[in-house]
A and B are shown apart, each in its own frame.
Chain A
Amino acid sequence: MSQDLLTLFWVMPAVGGLCALLGRQARWPALAFSAATALYGLILLGPASSGAWHSAPVSSPSWAFGIRYLLDCDGLSLSLCWLTAFLTVACVIASWNKDYPPAYWAAFLFLESALLGVFLARDLFLFFVFWEAVLIPMFFIIGLWGMEGRRHAAMKFFLFTFFGSIFLLLGSIALVTRHHAATGVWTWDMAALKGPGGLAGLAIFAAMALGFAVKIPLVPLHTWLPDAHTEAPAAGSVMLAGVLLKMGVYGFLRILWPVFPKLSWELMPWLMLLAGVNVIYGALCAMAQKDLKRLIAYSSVAHLGFCLMGVLSRTPEGLLGGSLQLLNHGITTGALFLMVGFLYERGHRRGLGDYGELYGRAPWLTFFFGVATMSSVGLPGLNGFVGEFMSLIGVARVMPRFVFVGVIGVTLAAAYALPAFQSVFLGPAGKASVSAKVTDLDRRESSLLWALCGAMFAIGIYPAPLLRVLEPFLLGLVPAR
């Protein structure tokens, strides 16, 4: 019974997508199904927190080679599913009065169903199928309804991730064959698989980590991110930054840590170095950007660097902080991209110098953007701070000298986010500025942003309940040192 409940969870948006495709007026079924999925997600809280899913009887027959249709849902997966579901509802509402064809709404619902699949799958093969299935809708969202350079950005996005996932596939197969060689059992269950030691283990770990690193993105492999974010439609960037970037870190948490407990601990310093480079490099690139969306894209590179740092430290604070920061970044950057989308709807421009003195014409937009910027800068009292601070505590407990890099990243965050906020919203309106065309948010848009800002404040002021939801799986990853 329990597996079918989870199957219903990820199938619901797919069915919605089909309805949207067939119906003439696509946006109403899209809203109905995405809202239903979000509400359904809340119902799963009860069993998820009590870990009821994991003991689910293995009802599904095993296909060849031990591959099985296995779903499970614990705190970490559930919170990421919530993030996906609520951001999808936000995207549907945000692009409500724009005349998109039915395929647009269907693409978002298919994307949501594939993402839910990724977070619920516990079979490595099933995980991989969902992992790749996410690419197709996103490719079409960027490619069909994006900005001017969408063709190139969509191709670059797909090719980058596909390149990574080839190595993920090869690594998974090698892992399963090695596991069979060691234990004589064909299984693809993430919880049961144990990676080999020695050089083979290192090769498998490196291959799978490369697959995930492309998605995080770790710096050398990140050049698809700014293009994809800049060229995607507003709602597309929300989903891209809000959820797709989380799949990489989720992959580390869900697969690499349990399967390679000892090896991942030995490799921690090197990965931490990469995460540190991510933070500093992302912040510096963000400071150099002239386009608002590219700036937020590079800030995502920096924020994901923090998440990875926390997750790498394998301490209770670090793990929980990193995972919480995944959610926080989804909410904060989702809100930022929504607002840039609203701004683009009005002024059709994304440059930093194209606006100015918006506080008079659009006070509510300025207020919400200010709150989101402060949250992204990591102002305590908002959600950004809790996640980043706990991640850095994890780092401090494991590599005290390295926390210096993290704090420099936090300081640099202010150096790129605030000048951008000021030049767009408070600064002088140059002669080429289009601020005249900017009107304030309407009821639909501000209600959306009220929800997101409410979440930012709630998590910032009282994060304990959400941290308790995340705890069950993550505390198991703390190695007994």
Chain B
Amino acid sequence: MSALIWAVSGLLFFLGLAAVVLRRQLLAVFLGMELMVVAAALALGHEATRAAAGAEGFVAVLLVLAVAAAEAVVGLTLVLRVHWSGRPAEADSLRELRG
């Protein structure tokens, strides 16, 4: 059972990773990031059931989701600011800082 969960979590993590690295649009990258966080949360939740240390795992999942939410707020505002500034929300449009 746990192998299946870990496979799903690994797959999700890898998909998120691929999105982060390969996709051009910022939102797609953001989604990839969230996907990786969710994969980690899934793994954590599963392990929490098995672990003997009580509720530590579950508390961790809750806190991770809270932190992910906070991150999302900040991330989306930044992406929107880029959009409003007239530049396409693409990774390539933000290349002035170089060298």
Direct interface between A and B, CB < 8 A: no
Report A's interface with B, CB cutoff 8 A.
none
Q: Which residues of B contact A (CB under 8 A)?
A: none
